[in-house]
C-alpha cells in the first residue's frame, strides 16, 4: 500500500518521499504524521519504502487522501485514512507544525501484535484555480457562481473518546531552549522562518525510548499563559487533577510587559486504551511514538483577573495547498482571489483569517494590523520558498480589521505594503487593507449576497453560446460614478444611492448598457481610476463590495448590462502600493526602459512573470464572477502591444526577436479573451487601441496551444487578440475635428466624415464619444459643435445631428455622461454633472431626441444586428462636400428592414433635396431632428409621415426621394413595408433556405432578401 501511495503522490506532482535513513526525512518530519521506523539487527534503518511520515505529510499537504484507505508502515502497523464530510475542506493543523506537548512514549503491542488503528481526517484538495482547458464546475445562473474553489471550511471530525494521556515531566534537555540569535531576530521582526522556532517541535533526546516535544508560544501583551487540551476536540488529556500546564516566560519583552516568548516546562508520558483490554479498563502505553495533539491557551494580560482562551497561531499547519501555489506559479491561476489575500476560514474548528501574499525577494514578512498594534514582531509569516509566497493563519480575528504587510527587504529596509489581493480598502487618503465581510467565496450560502439577476444571467449565457450577442443592440452610457451625481454639499453618494438614481435615468434614455470608468481601488481620484492599486476591490469611497453588487444587480433586473474599465497596462507608483513591493522590482519590469511609462508617471506590469500574469488574469475573472460584470473594456492596449509606445529611441528595449511587439503582453491578452469567452459565454470584451494593429477583434484558432509558449516566435506573426470590439478612436477624432471647422471650411475636410468606410470592414467597432474628449481643456461636446461665435441654438442642433450620425453608423454607440443633456462645461471629476442644465427647454428636448434615437436603435434590426457585415452598409450620398450632407443606408436580412439616414452638417436647409434609394414606394419618416417634439422649426415633414419615391434615381439608384433636409439636421426613414402576408411568406422562405446551409455548416449570405422588382 505504501508503494501505491507513493505513486499517488508522484501522480499529483509531489516530491518523492525520502527514505527513513535520509537527512531529508528529519527535515520534512512533523507532528502531523506517524513514524514507524523498523531497524535491522545491526540497527540500520531499511530503505524498502518511504516512511509513513513522509508519505502522509505529502498527501495531507496536497489534500489528495480520499476514500477510506489503510497505509501499512514498515513495522506492519496500520494507519486508516478516513475523509471528512464530503463537500467541505477541513484543514488539520497536524499537517505541518501542529501543536503538541512534551511527552514520553514506549513501544507496545496488542495481543495479536497489531497496534490499534489511528484515524486521520482529511478531505480532497482545496482548489483555488484551474487550467483553462476544463473550467470550473459551477452551478449556472445562481449565486453558486460566487462560491470559491476552496469550499467553506468546517471543523475537522474527531473521536469522542480520549486516546492519550500526557504525563508532565520536570526536566527539559538544554537543547529545548530557543537560540539567542533566533530570539534576537524574532524581536527585530526579521526572522525568515518563524515556524522553525515557534509552535510545537521535537527535541532530540539521549534516551532513545523517549520523545521530547517543546511548545513555544509567541504572544503580545500577555503576562500569564497556561496550556491545556481543547475540550471536545483534543484526543489527549492531562493526568488528574491537572487541567492545564503553566508556561514559563523567557527572553525580552515583545511590548511593554508582554510575554515575548514562553516555553513548555513539562514532559509527558502518553497512554491509550487497547480495545482488547478495554473491558478490564487497563490503560496500556500507546504504540504510536509520535502523536499530534490539539491545545488551547489560557492567557491573562496586565490587570486581567479572568483568563481568556486564545489559540496559538504557530500551532496551525499550512492552509494553502502546494497544488494551488503551483498553479499560481504557472501563470494561469484564474481563481487566485481565493488563494491569495485575506480570507475568513475555519481550521480545526477555530475561526480566523488566512493571509497569503507573494513577495519572493524579501527576507521576512509580517502581518500587521489593528489587533496587534501594527507591530511587525507579533505575527511573522511562513515562507513557501519554492513559490516566493508567504502565508499565515491567525485565529481570533475577523472582518473589518485593517491590516497590511510589514516587509524586511534584502537591502535592510523595513516598510509596510498593502495587500494586492485585498477585497476592501480604507477610504483614501488612508491606505490600509481591510479584511472583507463580503467575501462570498468563504461564507455559508445563507449569508452571501443574494442575487436576483438569474433571468439576465441565463439570457446572457444563451446569447453567448448561440453566438447571437453581436446581433443584439448595444448602446453604452459611460459613467464616472464618483462625479455622475453628488449629494448636498458635494457629498459622495453610495453605490446603493446611485442605483436608485442611475437605473431610472439609463432606462428612460433607452441605453442598453452602462460602462463604468475604472472602479478598482485607486488612491488618486484625479486619475479617474486609471492609476490602480487594488485590482480586486471596488472603490471604497462609494461603499463596500456588497453595495456594488447591489448596483449591478439592480441594473440587471432593469435589463441593463454592466461593463467596467479594466486596467492591466500600468499601475501607480505610490510607495505603499505595488511598486518595488518586496524592496525589489516585483510586479513591474526591473529595467526602467521596460518597467516605466514616463509620460503617465506609472509603472508597467511585468508580463514576463507568471505570478504577475496570474494576478492580472485572476483580477479580470474576479470581477466577472464575483460581481456579474457583463464586459471588460481593456484600457491602453496600445501601450501593452508596443514596447516603444510613446517612447523615444533609447528609452525602450526590443523583444527577443528584435521587434517592437511585447510578445508576453500579446499572449496575456489572447489568454484573457480566450478564457473569458470560454468560461463566461455572453461576456463582451473591448479594446481601447489607437493604432493600426490588425486583428484586434479576430478570433485565433488553436489559440490555447499557443499560450503554452507565450514567447514562441510564432506569436510574432499572430496578431489576433480575440476581442469582441475595438474603440474607433479615429472616427471620434475625425468627426469632432470636422465639426470644429467653420462651415465654409468643412467642404475641404468632408473626407473626415467618410474616411471610415475604407477601414470599417477590418474590425468590429465601438463608436465612442467618450470622457477623453470632454476633459483637460478640450471643452464639452457642445463646445465642439461649432466654432467661435456659433450661436447656442446652432450648437444644440449640430449636437443632435452628431448623435444621429453616430447612432446611424455601423458600430455600437457610446456616449459619456452629461452628453445627453448637452452639458456646457467640460467634465471635472470633482463635481457632479450639471443636471440643472437639463431643465432648460432646448437641453430637455435634446435629451428626448437622444432617447428616441436610442429607442429606434433598439427596435430596428438594421441599425444594430448587421453592424459587423460590410454588405449591411451602403453610401447613397457621400461626395456632396459643398452642401456638407452625407446619406447612407443600413440593412439587415430583408429589404423592408432598410433604414435611410441623412445628415446635414451645414446651417443651410435644403428643400426637395434628392436622395437615391433602392426601393420604390412609401418611405416612412421615423425621426426628424427638426420636429417640434425636439424644439425644432419643423422644416419638412414631422415624425411618422410618409414620403413617396419617384422613378429615375440619383447616383445609380433606381428610385429617388425628394426630402426637405433641415439645417444642422438629421432624418431617419424606413423602407416601404409589404403586406403582413407577404412579409410572413418571405420570412418563412428565408428560414427554409437557411436550413440546408446550416446542416452543411455554411452561414449563407445575410444580405437583403427578396428585393422588390426593379430594385438593385
Strand pairing class (765-769; 725-727): parallel
Q: In this structure, are residues 478 and 563 in contact, taking their beta carbons and an 8 Å threshold? A: no
The answer to whether residues 406 and 416 touch, using CB atoms and an 8 Å cutoff, is yes
The SS3 assignment for 752 reads: helix
3-state helix, strand, coil in the chain (%, to 5): 30, 20, 50
**Active-site residue, selected from the candidate residues 635, 679, 728, 734:** 635
> Is residue 455 flagged as an active site residue?
no
Quick check: is 688 catalytic?
A: yes
Round to whole Å and give the CA distance between 153 and 972: 60
Interatomic CA distance for residues 524 and 526, integer angstroms: 5
486: which DSSP letter?
Answer: B
Q: Of 74, 71, 77, nearest to 110 (Cα)?
A: 77
Integer Cα distance of 70 and 92 in angstroms = 19
For residues 730 and 753, what is the distance between their CA atoms, to the nearest angstrom? 11
Q: How far is CA 401 from CA 308, 415, 520, 852, in A?
A: 20, 19, 20, 50
Q: Which residue, among 56, 81, 106, 73, has the nearest Cα to 1 in the 3D structure? A: 73
DSSP for 640-657, please give it: HHBTTTT--TTSS---TT
Q: Angle, to 10 degrees, between the axis of helix 729-739 and the axis of helix 792-808?
A: 150
Q: Let me know: does 192 contact 409? Beta carbons within 8 Å.
A: no
Catalytic residue among 337, 478, 688, 773: 688
DSSP 914-964: EEEES--SEEEEEEETTSGGGT----S--TT-EEEEEES-STT-SEEEEEE
Helix axes 610-627, 663-679, angle to 10 degrees: 30
Q: Where does 230-359 show beta strands of DSSP type E?
A: 236-237, 245-246, 248-250, 261-263, 271-272, 284-285, 295-300, 308-310, 341-347, 350-358
Calpha distance 4→124 (Å, rounded): 18
Other Cβ atoms closer than 10 A to 21: 13
| Residue 232, Ramachandran bin (φ over 0: left; ψ between -120 and 50: alpha; else beta) | left
- For residue 663, say if its preceding peptide bond is cis, omega within 30 degrees of 0: no
Phi, psi of 341, rounded to the nearest 5 degrees: 85, -160
CA distances from 380 to 76, 142, 195, 419, 638 (A): 41, 39, 9, 15, 42
Say if CB 976 and CB 896 are below 8 A apart.
yes
Q: What distance in Å separates the CA atoms of residue 299 and residue 292, rounded to the nearest whole number?
A: 22
117: closest CA among 60, 152, 68, 170? 68
Contact 515, 400 (CB under 8 A): no
* Cα of 532 vs its chain's centroid, Å: 13
* Alpha carbon distance 771, 636 (integer Å): 14
The angle at the Cα of 781, spanning 779 to 786, to the nearest 5 degrees, equals 90
Give CA 605 to chain center in angstroms.
Answer: 16
Residue 697, CB half-sphere, CA atoms under 13 Å: how many? Answer: 22
Q: Is 156 left (phi over 0), alpha (psi -120 to 50) or beta?
A: beta
Q: Using the Cα atoms of residue 730, residue 732, residue 733 and residue 737 in order, give the sign of their dihedral.
A: positive
Catalytic residues: 635, 688
Amino acid at each position: 500500500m505504501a508503494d501505491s501511495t507513493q505513486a499517488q503522490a508522484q501522480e499529483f506532482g509531489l516530491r518523492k518521499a525520502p527514505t527513513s535513513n535520509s537527512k531529508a526525512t528529519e527535515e520534512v518530519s512533523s507532528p502531523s504524521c506517524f513514524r514507524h521506523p523498523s531497524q535491522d539487527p545491526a540497527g540500520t534503518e531499511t530503505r524498502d519504502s518511504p516512511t509513513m511520515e513522509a508519505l502522509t505529510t505529502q498527501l495531507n499537504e496536497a489534500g489528495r487522501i480520499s476514500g477510506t484507505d489503510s497505509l501499512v508502515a514498515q513495522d506492519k502497523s496500520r494507519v486508516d485514512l478516513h475523509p471528512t464530510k464530503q463537500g467541505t475542506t477541513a484543514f488539520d493543523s497536524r499537517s505541518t507544525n501542529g501543536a503538541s506537548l512534551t511527552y514520553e512514549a514506549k513501544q507496545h503491542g496488542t495481543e495479536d501484535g497489531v497496534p490499534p488503528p489511528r484515524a486521520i481526517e482529511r478531505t480532497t484538495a482545496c482548489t483555488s484555480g484551474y487550467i483553462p482547458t476544463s473550467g470550473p464546475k459551477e452551478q449556472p445562473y445562481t449565486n453558486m457562481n460566487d462560491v470559491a474553489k476552496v469550499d467553506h471550511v468546517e471543523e475537522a471530525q474527531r473521536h469522542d473518546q480520549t486516546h492519550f494521556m500526557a504525563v508532565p515531566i520536570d526536566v527539559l534537555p538544554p537543547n529545548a531552549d530557543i537560540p539567542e540569535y533566533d530570539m534576537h531576530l524574532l524581536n527585530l521582526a526579521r526572522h525568515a522562518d518563524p515556524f522553525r522556532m515557534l509552535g510545537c517541535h521535537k527535541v532530540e533526546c539521549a534516551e532513545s525510548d523517549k520523545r521530547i516535544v517543546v511548545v513555544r508560544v509567541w504572544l503580545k501583551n500577555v503576562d500569564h499563559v497556561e496550556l491545556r487540551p481543547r475540550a471536545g476536540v483534543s484526543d489527549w488529556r492531562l493526568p488528574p487533577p491537572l487541567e492545564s500546564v503553566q508556561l514559563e516566560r523567557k527572553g525580552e519583552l515583545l511590548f511593554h510587559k508582554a510575554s515575548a516568548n514562553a516555553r513548555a516546562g513539562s514532559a509527558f508520558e502518553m497512554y491509550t486504551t487497547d480495545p482488547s483490554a478495554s473491558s478490564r479498563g487497563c490503560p496500556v502505553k500507546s504504540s504510536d511514538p509520535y502523536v499530534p495533539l490539539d491545545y488551547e491557551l489560557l492567557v491573562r494580560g496586565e490587570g486581567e483577573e479572568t483568563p481568556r482562551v486564545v489559540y496559538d497561531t504557530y500551532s496551525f499547519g499550512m492552509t494553502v495547498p502546494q497544488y494551488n501555489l503551483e498553479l499560481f506559479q504557472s501563470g494561469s491561476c484564474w481563481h487566485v482571489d481565493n488563494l491569495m489575500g485575506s480570507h475568513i476560514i475555519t481550521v480545526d474548528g477555530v475561526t480566523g483569517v488566512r493571509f497569503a501574499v507573494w513577495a519572493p525577494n524579501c527576507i521576512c514578512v509580517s502581518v500587521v494590523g489593528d489587533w496587534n498594534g501594527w507591530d511587525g514582531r507579533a505575527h511573522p509569516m511562513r515562507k513557501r520558498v519554492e513559490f516566493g509566497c508567504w502565508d499565515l493563519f491567525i485565529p481570533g480575528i475577523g472582518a473589518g480589521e485593517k491590516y497590511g504587510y510589514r516587509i524586511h527587504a534584502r537591502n535592510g529596509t523595513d516598510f509596510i505594503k498593502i495587500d494586492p489581493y485585498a477585497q476592501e480598502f480604507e477610504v483614501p487618503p488612508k491606505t490600509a487593507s481591510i479584511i472583507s465581510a463580503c467575501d462570498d467565496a468563504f461564507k455559508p450560502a445563507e449569508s452571501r449576497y443574494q442575487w436576483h439577476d438569474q433571468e439576465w444571467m441565463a439570457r446572457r449565457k444563451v446569447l453567448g453560446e448561440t453566438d447571437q450577442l453581436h446581433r443584439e443592440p448595444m448602446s453604452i452610457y459611460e459613467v464616472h460614478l464618483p462625479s455622475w451625481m453628488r449629494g448636498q454639499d458635494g457629498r459622495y453618494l453610495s453605490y446603493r444611492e446611485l442605483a436608485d438614481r442611475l437605473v431610472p435615468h439609463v432606462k428612460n434614455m433607452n441605453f442598453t448598457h452602462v460602462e463604468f470608468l475604472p472602479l478598482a481601488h485607486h488612491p488618486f481620484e484625479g486619475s479617474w481610476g486609471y492609476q490602480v492599486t487594488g485590482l480586486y476591490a471596488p472603490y471604497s469611497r462609494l461603499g463596500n463590495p456588497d453595495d456594488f453588487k447591489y448596483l449591478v444587480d439592480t441594473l440587471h433586473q432593469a435589463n441593463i448590462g454592466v461593463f467596467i474599465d479594466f486596467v492591466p497596462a500600468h499601475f501607480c507608483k505610490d510607495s505603499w502600493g505595488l511598486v518595488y513591493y518586496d524592496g525589489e522590482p516585483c510586479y513591474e519590469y526591473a529595467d526602467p526602459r521596460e518597467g516605466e511609462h514616463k509620460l503617465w508617471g506609472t509603472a508597467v506590469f511585468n508580463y514576463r512573470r507568471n505570478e504577475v500574469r496570474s494576478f492580472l488574469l485572476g483580477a479580470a475573472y474576479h470581477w466577472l464572477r464575483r460581481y456579474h460584470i457583463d464586459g471588460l473594456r481593456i484600457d491602453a492596449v496600445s501601450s501593452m502591444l508596443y514596447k516603444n509606445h510613446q517612447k523615444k529611441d533609447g528609452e525602450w528595449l526590443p523583444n527577443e526577436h528584435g521587434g517592437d511587439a511585447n510578445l508576453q503582453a500579446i499572449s496575456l491578452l489572447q489568454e484573457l479573451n480566450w478564457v473569458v469567452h470560454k468560461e463566461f459565454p455572453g461576456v463582451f470584451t473591448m479594446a481601447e487601441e489607437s493604432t493600426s494593429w490588425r486583428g484586434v477583434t479576430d478570433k485565433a484558432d488553436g489559440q490555447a496551444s499557443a499560450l503554452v509558449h507565450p514567447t514562441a516566435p510564432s506569436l510574432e506573426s499572430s496578431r489576433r487578440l480575440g476581442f469582441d470590439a475595438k474603440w474607433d478612436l479615429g472616427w471620434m477624432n475625425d468627426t469632432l475635428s470636422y465639426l470644429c471647422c467653420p462651415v465654409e471650411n468643412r467642404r475641404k475636410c468632408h473626407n473626415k466624415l467618410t474616411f471610415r468606410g475604407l477601414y470599417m470592414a477590418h474590425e468590429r467597432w465601438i463608436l465612442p464619444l467618450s470622457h477623453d474628449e470632454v476633459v483637460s481643456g478640450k471643452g464639452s461636446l457642445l463646445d465642439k459643435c461649432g466654432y467661435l461665435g456659433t450661436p447656442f441654438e446652432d450648437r444644440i442642433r449640430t449636437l443632435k445631428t452628431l448623435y444621429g450620425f453616430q447612432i446611424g453608423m455601423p458600430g455600437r454607440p457610446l456616449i459619456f455622461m452629461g452628453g445627453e443633456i448637452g452639458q456646457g462645461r467640460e467634465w471635472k471629476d470633482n463635481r457632479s454633472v450639471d443636471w440643472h442644465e437639463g431643465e432648460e427647454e432646448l437641453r430637455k428636448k435634446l435629451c428626448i431626441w437622444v432617447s428616441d434615437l436610442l429607442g429606434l436603435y433598439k427596435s430596428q434590426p438594421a441599425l444594430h444586428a448587421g453592424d459587423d457585415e460590410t454588405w449591411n452598409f451602403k453610401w447613397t450620398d457621400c461626395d456632396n462636400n459643398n452642401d456638407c450632407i452625407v446619406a447612407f443606408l443600413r440593412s439587415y436580412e430583408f429589404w423592408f428592414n432598410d433604414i435611410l439616414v441623412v445628415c446635414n452638417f451645414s446651417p443651410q436647409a435644403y428643400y426637395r433635396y434628392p436622395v437615391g434609394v433602392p426601393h420604390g414606394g412609401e418611405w416612412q419618416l421615423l425621426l426628424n431632428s427638426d420636429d417640434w417634439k425636439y424644439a425644432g422649426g419643423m422644416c419638412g415633414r414631422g415624425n411618422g409621415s410618409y414620403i413617396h419615391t419617384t422613378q429615375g434615381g440619383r447616383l445609380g439608384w433606381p428610385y429617388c426621394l425628394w426630402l426637405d433636409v433641415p439645417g444642422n439636421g438629421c432624418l431617419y426613414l424606413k423602407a416601404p413595408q409589404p403586406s403582413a402576408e407577404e412579409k410572413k411568406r418571405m420570412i418563412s422562405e428565408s428560414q427554409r433556405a437557411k436550413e440546408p446551409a446550416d446542416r452543411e455548416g455554411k452561414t449563407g449570405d445575410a444580405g437583403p432578401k427578396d428585393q422588390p422588382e426593379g430594385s438593385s
